[in-house]
Amino acid sequence: MVPPKAKKAKLTVQDPAGAEEYNFDLGYLNPTESSSGIKARLANLGFYRGDLSGGNNEQTAEAIRRFQVFAGLPVTGEADEATKNALAERHGS
Protein backbone atom coordinates (compact mmCIF):
# COMPACT_ATOMS: atom_id res chain seq x y z
CA MET A 1 0.00 0.00 0.00
CA VAL A 2 1.20 3.48 -0.88
CA PRO A 3 0.23 6.29 1.51
CA PRO A 4 -1.89 9.00 -0.19
CA LYS A 5 0.71 11.75 0.30
CA ALA A 6 3.73 9.68 -0.74
CA LYS A 7 6.12 11.43 -3.13
CA LYS A 8 8.27 8.41 -4.05
CA ALA A 9 7.79 4.64 -4.29
CA LYS A 10 9.99 1.65 -4.95
CA LEU A 11 8.67 -1.52 -6.56
CA THR A 12 10.68 -4.71 -6.23
CA VAL A 13 9.89 -7.56 -8.61
CA GLN A 14 11.27 -10.94 -7.55
CA ASP A 15 11.63 -13.89 -9.89
CA PRO A 16 13.88 -16.98 -9.96
CA ALA A 17 16.62 -15.02 -11.75
CA GLY A 18 16.75 -12.34 -9.05
CA ALA A 19 15.13 -9.07 -8.17
CA GLU A 20 14.57 -5.91 -10.16
CA GLU A 21 13.84 -2.58 -8.51
CA TYR A 22 11.93 0.32 -10.03
CA ASN A 23 11.79 3.78 -8.47
CA PHE A 24 8.87 6.13 -9.12
CA ASP A 25 8.16 9.78 -8.46
CA LEU A 26 4.52 10.08 -7.44
CA GLY A 27 2.10 12.93 -7.81
CA TYR A 28 3.92 14.85 -10.53
CA LEU A 29 3.41 15.23 -14.26
CA ASN A 30 5.00 17.71 -16.61
CA PRO A 31 2.59 20.49 -17.60
CA THR A 32 0.36 20.13 -20.67
CA GLU A 33 2.60 22.65 -22.44
CA SER A 34 5.19 19.86 -22.83
CA SER A 35 4.80 16.84 -25.09
CA SER A 36 5.73 14.53 -22.20
CA GLY A 37 2.95 16.05 -20.07
CA ILE A 38 0.42 15.54 -22.85
CA LYS A 39 1.57 11.98 -23.51
CA ALA A 40 1.58 11.09 -19.80
CA ARG A 41 -2.02 12.24 -19.39
CA LEU A 42 -3.09 10.44 -22.56
CA ALA A 43 -1.35 7.29 -21.30
CA ASN A 44 -2.97 7.52 -17.86
CA LEU A 45 -6.37 7.87 -19.53
CA GLY A 46 -5.73 4.87 -21.80
CA PHE A 47 -5.32 6.69 -25.12
CA TYR A 48 -1.52 6.40 -25.59
CA ARG A 49 0.90 3.50 -25.31
CA GLY A 50 4.38 4.54 -26.17
CA ASP A 51 7.52 6.31 -25.11
CA LEU A 52 6.78 9.35 -22.95
CA SER A 53 10.06 11.05 -23.78
CA GLY A 54 10.88 12.85 -26.99
CA GLY A 55 8.62 14.92 -29.17
CA ASN A 56 5.26 14.19 -30.68
CA ASN A 57 5.00 11.75 -33.58
CA GLU A 58 2.21 10.03 -35.53
CA GLN A 59 1.50 7.72 -32.57
CA THR A 60 0.99 10.80 -30.38
CA ALA A 61 -1.21 12.47 -33.00
CA GLU A 62 -3.39 9.35 -33.25
CA ALA A 63 -3.77 9.25 -29.45
CA ILE A 64 -4.73 12.93 -29.46
CA ARG A 65 -7.31 12.26 -32.20
CA ARG A 66 -8.84 9.39 -30.18
CA PHE A 67 -9.01 11.61 -27.12
CA GLN A 68 -10.55 14.46 -29.10
CA VAL A 69 -13.30 12.13 -30.37
CA PHE A 70 -13.91 10.94 -26.80
CA ALA A 71 -14.03 14.51 -25.47
CA GLY A 72 -16.28 15.80 -28.27
CA LEU A 73 -13.62 18.17 -29.60
CA PRO A 74 -12.74 18.99 -33.21
CA VAL A 75 -10.47 16.16 -34.38
CA THR A 76 -7.15 17.62 -35.51
CA GLY A 77 -4.48 15.44 -33.93
CA GLU A 78 -2.94 18.61 -32.52
CA ALA A 79 -2.75 19.46 -28.82
CA ASP A 80 -4.47 22.85 -29.07
CA GLU A 81 -5.61 24.80 -26.01
CA ALA A 82 -9.07 23.16 -25.97
CA THR A 83 -7.45 19.71 -26.04
CA LYS A 84 -4.94 20.60 -23.32
CA ASN A 85 -7.72 21.97 -21.13
CA ALA A 86 -9.89 18.89 -21.69
CA LEU A 87 -6.92 16.62 -20.92
CA ALA A 88 -6.20 18.44 -17.66
CA GLU A 89 -9.90 18.38 -16.69
CA ARG A 90 -10.45 14.69 -17.49
CA HIS A 91 -7.15 13.72 -15.90
CA GLY A 92 -7.70 15.79 -12.78
CA SER A 93 -4.42 17.65 -13.13
Query: Has residue 53 been placed in a domain?
Result: yes
What's the number of domains the chain is made of?
Answer: 1
Contact between 48 and 63 (Cβ < 8 Å): yes
CA neighbours closer than 13 Å in the CB half-sphere of residue 9: 12
Which DSSP letter does residue 34 get? S
Query: Has residue 13 been placed in a domain?
Result: no
Say what the pLDDT of residue 23 is: 80
Query: Has residue 19 been placed in a domain?
Result: no
Query: Has residue 49 been placed in a domain?
Result: yes
**Span 23-74, pLDDT tens digits:** 877 877 888 999 999 999 999 999 999 888 888 899 999 999 999 999 999 9
Which H or E run contains 4? none
Query: Has residue 66 been placed in a domain?
Result: yes
Say what the pLDDT of residue 6 is: 80
Q: Provide the whole-model pTM.
A: 0.71
Say what the pLDDT of residue 80 is: 97
Q: Indicate whether 2 pLDDT > 80.
A: no
* Dihedral sign (CA 25, 30, 32, 35): negative
**Residue ranges making up the domain that contains 77:** 35-91
E-strand ranges in 8-64 read 8-15, 18-25
